[in-house]
Chains A and B, each alone.
Chain A
Amino acid sequence: MLTRKHFLGIVVAVVASLVLLALPTRLSLQVRSTLTNAFLPLFGLTRATHTVGEQLSLKLIPRSQLESEYVRLARENSQLRVQLATAAETARENRSLRALLGWKASTPWNLKLAQVILRDPANWWRAVQINLGSRDGVRLNATVLTPQGLVGRVASVGFDHAQVVLLGDPSCNVSAMVGTNERSAGIVGAASSLDSSMVEMTYLPRHADIPAGAPVHTSGLGGVFPKGILVGHVVDTQPVEYGLHLAARLRLSVNLSALEEVWVIVQ
């Protein structure tokens, strides 16, 4: 039977929920950050467990396998050193040409490695928490990537952790272009609810020639993501909205469900 006490409980719950939902963004972020800080000891525990697990798995690898891996990595290292020397020469040439033409010098990326410590517990968002925060120079909307391609952007920053919205989340739209043709640019939006590795790219020009398998890179438009980061590859295209423009399905270049370490572009 609904007593006065229960009725009061319902009223308190409804009013408190409405007040929380209507909190100003700044206050809401502060409350969120305070609550997240309550989990800090557990963040440390996760990290420690992860490290111990890695160390244990390393101990289980046979010596012969480690030796062959060492030889492979040493070979790859020398190849990369050669490529680095070539890239450094190209960068020097690029700088002098820019100076000759009077163009603004491009800023090099300042990357910091971060570990993924938590995933969004709700199923309807694509987001993760990383172990870098404002003390490490991470800022709102900073680009997050891996060597395979773009991961997402920083959505909120705490002192020593940050929340990253991943590609495919409805709040992470990216201006991108197919191949190197800036005229076939579009917006990479939400993921398919059935397959998280696929996203939709919309607003492509209706006459654009977009072959299946073509790479898609960030266009640099919009000011959030730098130009030239690989997003994914085209799977297929179809005309939408009565043929006004094309929509393409992309397979993301990064496996977002198995993220462990990411790079963040910091200031």
Chain B
Amino acid sequence: MGDRSINAFRISAVILLALTFVFLQAALGWPRQWLGAQVDLLPPLMVFTALRLGLGSILGLAFIGGLSLDALSLNPLGATPLPLCLIGLGLHLKRDQLLRDEVFAQTLLGLAAGAVAPLGTLLMILTAGASPLLGPGILWDLVVWMAGSAVATPLIFQLMRILEKALTYQPHSQPSFRPDREILRGRH
């Protein structure tokens, strides 16, 4: 029951975070003005979901987050979920071979996801017959996406750890002291 409630909490937190990230990407103009491109926060969230949660959460995040992003954007509806989903499934399958608790590994995975997800989405958009604004500037965008995702991934792991600690019941730890095994010294 405890594990199930923690999982339910994690899944709801991930979905809420995805919606918040999509909204912030659309509402905050300053990253675009300062960096020249908007940071995409769904790929780092997908890295967390793939390494910590199950298949249902990966599909949920990919479709709810991806479709929300497509709805607020001029992207053809359905262009974002598939690349996100494939990244998530790929990482989920290899999660036991990855040092997922290491910040360095999280950063590297975020870096890779930050490049693959937008490029995959672009490929989907081009396949759907739309013509987005492409040119040499996309290289700088790629650098911003990768750097943003690399920084955001360990932060998301930290954030979820803090949230879990603050909002869920912590497992009751059994003290090692047992009164029936206590060695009593002196006269009794």
Determine if B93 and A21 form an interchain contact, defined as CB atoms under 8 angstroms apart. Answer: no
**Residues of A in contact with B (beta carbons under 8 Å apart):** 1-2, 5-6, 9-10, 12-14, 16-21, 23, 28, 31-33, 35-36, 38-39, 42, 46, 117-127, 129, 155, 163, 165, 168-171, 190-194, 257-258
Determine if A123 and B68 form an interchain contact, defined as CB atoms under 8 angstroms apart. Answer: no
Residues of B within 8 A of A42 (CB): 23, 27
A20-B67, A120-B26, A194-B135 known; A171 and B76 CB under 8 Å? Answer: no
A19 to B128, CA, bound (A): 12
A121 to B29, CA, bound (A): 9
Determine if A21 and B79 form an interchain contact, defined as CB atoms under 8 angstroms apart. Answer: yes
A155 to B85, CA, bound (A): 29
Determine if A119 and B59 form an interchain contact, defined as CB atoms under 8 angstroms apart. Answer: no
B73 at the interface (CB under 8 A from A): yes
* CB nearest neighbor in B for A17: B82
B14 at the interface (CB under 8 A from A): no
Residues of A within 8 A of B133 (CB): 124-126, 168-170, 190-191, 193
A131 to B126, CA, bound (A): 30
B125 at the interface (CB under 8 A from A): yes
Please report whether the interface of chain A is mostly helix, strand, loop or mixed according to DSSP.
mixed
Neighbour of B81 across the interface among A1, A5, A13, A192, CB < 8 A:
A13
Number of A-B contacts (CB under 8 A): 154
Residues of A within 8 A of B38 (CB): 119, 121-123
A1 to B89, CA, bound (A): 11
In residues 55-92 of chain B, which contact A (Cβ within 8 Å)?
55, 58-59, 62-63, 67-79, 81-82, 85-86, 89, 92
A240 to B88, CA, bound (A): 46
Query: Which of B101-109, B136-144, B155-163, B173-181 is near enough to bind chain A?
Result: B136-144
1/0 per residue B21-45: CB within 8 Å of A? 0110111010011000110100000
* CB nearest neighbor in B for A14: B82
Determine if B73 and A120 form an interchain contact, defined as CB atoms under 8 angstroms apart. Answer: yes
Residues of A within 8 A of B92 (CB): 6
Please report whether the interface of chain B is mostly helix, strand, loop or mixed according to DSSP.
helix
Q: Can you name 6 A-B residue pairings with CB atoms under 8 Å?
A: A20-B78, A121-B25, A122-B121, A123-B141, A129-B72, A192-B135
Minimum Cβ distance to chain A for residue B77 (Å) = 5
Determine if B79 and A119 form an interchain contact, defined as CB atoms under 8 angstroms apart. Answer: no
A2-B93, A21-B77, A21-B79 known; A36 and B131 CB under 8 Å? Answer: no
Determine if B58 and A9 form an interchain contact, defined as CB atoms under 8 angstroms apart. Answer: yes
Residues of A within 8 A of B75 (CB): 122, 125
Residues of A within 8 A of B72 (CB): 36, 39, 118, 120-121, 129
B112 at the interface (CB under 8 A from A): no
Residues of B within 8 A of A31 (CB): 67, 71, 77
* CB nearest neighbor in B for A7: B89
Determine if B77 and A20 form an interchain contact, defined as CB atoms under 8 angstroms apart. Answer: yes
Determine if A122 and B74 form an interchain contact, defined as CB atoms under 8 angstroms apart. Answer: yes
B17 at the interface (CB under 8 A from A): no
Minimum Cβ distance to chain A for residue B184 (Å) = 54
Minimum Cβ distance to chain A for residue B123 (Å) = 12
Determine if A35 and B55 form an interchain contact, defined as CB atoms under 8 angstroms apart. Answer: no
- Pick from A20, A23, A120 the residue with the most CB of B within 10 Å: A20
